[in-house]
Amino acid sequence: MAKPATIKIRLNSTADTGFFYVTKKNPRNMTEKMVQRKYDPIAKKHVEFKEGKIK
């Protein structure tokens, strides 16, 4: 069986609140680290979330 094309990644908040989202990405199409602007409910505002590894 073939391996799946997507991997799970963790998007960590840059506001240092410890909040994170878990999402998937295709590393064949997107080779650089993912950065998204999303809502941080602890900081109560939109901040950048950067990709990190799931432990």
What is the predicted pLDDT for the residue at 43?
96
CB 43 within 8 A of CB 15: yes
Q: What is the band of 17 on the pLDDT scale with cuts at 50, 70, 90?
A: very high
Residue 53 has pLDDT above 90, yes or no: no
18-52 pLDDT, tens digit per residue, is 999 999 999 999 999 999 999 999 999 999 999 99
Q: For residue 47, what is the DSSP state?
A: E
pLDDT of residue 55: 77
The full set of domain ranges for the chain reads 7-52
Domain 7-52: which CATH class?
Answer: mainly beta
Q: Which amino acid is at 27?
A: P
Which tokens is 32 given? Answer: 């650089």
